[in-house]
Amino acid sequence: MAHLLSKSVKQLVRKIPIVGQTATRSVTTLQETLAAQVPEKQKSLAALKKEHGSHVIGEVTIDQCIGGARSVKCMLWETSNLDPAEGIRFRGLTIPECQAVLPTYSGVAGDGEPLLESLLWLLLTSEVPTKEQVDTLTAELHSRAKLPDHVIPLLNSLPKDMHPMTQFTIGLNACQTESKFAKAYAEGVPKTDYHTYALEDILTVIAVLPEIAATIYRNVYFDGVVNKDTSLDYSGNFARMLGYDNPSFDELMRLYLCIHTDHEGGNASAHTTHLVGSTLSDPYLSYAAGLNALAGPLHGLANQEVLKWIQELKAKFEAEGKPITAETITEFAWDTLNAKKVIPGYGHAVLRKTDPRYTSQREFALKHMPDDELFKVVDTIYQVMPGVLKEHGKVANPYPNVDSHSGVLLWHYGFTQFQYYTVLFGVSRAVGGLSQLYWDRALGLPLERPKSVTPEWLWSQVKK
Ligand code: CMX
């Protein structure tokens, strides 16, 4: 992969400090790396605020006020940035750049998908870790992964027809008994120490999510038995817990978990985590709130909706004895639009081009399952849908987003329980939302409290 990078990208990648490469002593830990960064970042933000606090960075129109605050710049987000044309950059790196430089399971960057632990390190520290550093993080996450005793019995008691996302937030909320941040706050630790306790909770939340998620999957669809293999990385172990034992599926899980982590701050799950955290709710409660936002069909639930849409399309045309072609897909798309429903997996509040997270999944499919029947359907949808949505004329972005592709990859490996797909998104999104939550507390960001206005006030502004 690295050899495919352009010269400018190689230059960019070289600028990223590779911590530990020249170190002669034992591996620098994540905690040491962050502790060294905090004072400098605090100083820089304080200087920005003091010297330029009144500098104007935008204006707000009535359209934006009543239209979901699109493009209003009012939130600080360290870990990633989303460009409408280019898509996501994690700490300045595009997805292909991450694939080229981040440590993989084999240990060779570019040979396979990055490890989720590599991306967690990058998002938290803005540094590309060594494989040794990533291995210490894997071991640390495994060591933190024990659920409190009451959680599995609680999950086992939930109705099997309760949506997996509802079960997921219940499971995470139930782990909050272990919050070190909440305990430290109650004991009155100084504000300057909040971030160290937040980091404790953040790492533990990320560590426990796979077992909560896997227990729900095994309970709802199988025998409730969860088998771990902690000789593997985070994603490989998660795959085993779900019940999949296939190196190719492990690679899919690594890609899936990496690309869903972060999408700057304004999306509903990340924003909710940040907002709730700003009240000094601990990371367990903050991320459980973020999961509830992710469970909406306009956000993370769209991945299950895509699979449902494709299955309905297949069922309709199979019953009519028609093949699935560009023509029949177009017909089905218009049926959906004429019924005033959305085409799941298409459109985006910020993006105006094909989502690079879609493209990376398409590349995975071309490599691992080029002849898969559903992949071919998704590819044909990709050929016709932008044209249909352009003709429809309402949609700002007629191109596919991340949710458009993820389901068919899972389906290929026999993971067909699409009502569960958003839980996988939820395991991943924790890594982005909570990395930022660390910096929220380290930088001492205040309670978030934008101003709302009444319709009468808006009219009064227009009449002035
Ligand atoms: N199919 C049909 N209509 C769509 C559409 C789609 N895929 N995407 C947008 N529209 C409609 C909107 O509903 C809106 O209609 P109204 O004016 O009648 O309300 C109009 O087009 C303009 O919307 P927009 O400015 O293009 O999009 P928004 O920023 O308001 O919303 C999003 C963005 C993602 C909610 C929307 O594109 C959508 O509903 N897509 C389908 C659901 C989906 O795939 N969500 C996942 C997004 C990624 C993620 O968060 O996981």
pLDDT digits (tens, 9 = 90+) for 304-328: 999 999 999 999 999 999 999 999 9
CA–CA separation, 118 and 99 (whole Å): 10
Assess whether the C-beta atom of 345 lies below 6 angstroms from ligand 1.
yes
Handedness of CA 385, 390, 396, 397 (dihedral sign): positive
**What confidence score (pLDDT) does residue 27 get?**
86
Does residue 355 carry a catalytic annotation? no
**What confidence score (pLDDT) does residue 3 get?**
40
Work out the average pLDDT over 342-350: 96
Q: Which band of pLDDT confidence, cut at 50, 70 and 90, is reported for residue 15?
A: very low
Work out the average pLDDT over 392-401: 97
Does residue 8 carry a pLDDT above 80? Answer: no
CB 184 within 8 A of CB 199: no
Does residue 133 carry a pLDDT above 80? Answer: yes
Q: Which band of pLDDT confidence, cut at 50, 70 and 90, is reported for residue 26?
A: confident
Work out the average pLDDT over 43-68: 98
Residue whose structure tokens are 């104007």: 56
Helix axis angle, 403-412 to 302-319, nearest 10°: 70
Assess whether the C-beta atom of 426 lies below 6 angstroms from ligand 1.
no
**What confidence score (pLDDT) does residue 432 get?**
98
Q: Which band of pLDDT confidence, cut at 50, 70 and 90, is reported for residue 421?
A: very high
Residue nearest (by alpha carbon) to ligand 1 atom 30? 349
CA–CA separation, 41 and 370 (whole Å): 46
E strands, 281-438, where? none
Atom of ligand 1 nearest to the CA of 396: 26
Assess whether the C-beta atom of 210 lies below 6 angstroms from ligand 1.
no
Does residue 174 carry a pLDDT above 90? Answer: yes
The two structure tokens encoding residue 100: 């080229």
Assess whether the C-beta atom of 344 lies below 6 angstroms from ligand 1.
yes
Residues 195, 260, 348, 412: which is the catalytic one?
348
Handedness of CA 67, 71, 73, 77 (dihedral sign): positive
Going by their DSSP bridges, the two strands 87-90 and 80-83 should be labelled as antiparallel
The two structure tokens encoding residue 377: 């359907």
CA–CA separation, 174 and 190 (whole Å): 26
Q: Which band of pLDDT confidence, cut at 50, 70 and 90, is reported for residue 22?
A: very low
Task: Share the mean pLDDT of the chain.
Answer: 94
CA–CA separation, 445 and 456 (whole Å): 32
pTM reported for the whole predicted model: 0.94
What sections of 27-79 are H helices per DSSP?
Answer: 30-52, 62-66
Q: Measure 398 CA to ligand 1 centroid, in angstroms.
A: 9
Assess whether the C-beta atom of 87 lies below 6 angstroms from ligand 1.
no
Does residue 371 carry a catalytic annotation? no
Work out the average pLDDT over 95-119: 96
Residues 6+ apart with CB under 8 A from 286: 273, 274, 276, 277, 433, 434, 437
CA–CA separation, 82 and 87 (whole Å): 5
CB 422 within 8 A of CB 161: no
**What confidence score (pLDDT) does residue 464 get?**
78
Does residue 233 carry a catalytic annotation? no
Work out the average pLDDT over 345-368: 97
Does residue 14 carry a pLDDT above 60? Answer: no
Residue nearest (by alpha carbon) to ligand 1 atom 45? 298
Work out the average pLDDT over 125-132: 97
Does residue 329 carry a pLDDT above 60? Answer: yes
Assess whether the C-beta atom of 88 lies below 6 angstroms from ligand 1.
no
CA–CA separation, 380 and 457 (whole Å): 49
Work out the average pLDDT over 422-429: 98
Q: Which domains does the chain have, with CATH numbers?
A: 142-299+418-442 (1.10.580.10), 302-412 (1.10.230.10)
Q: Measure 75 CA to ligand 1 centroid, in angstroms.
A: 22
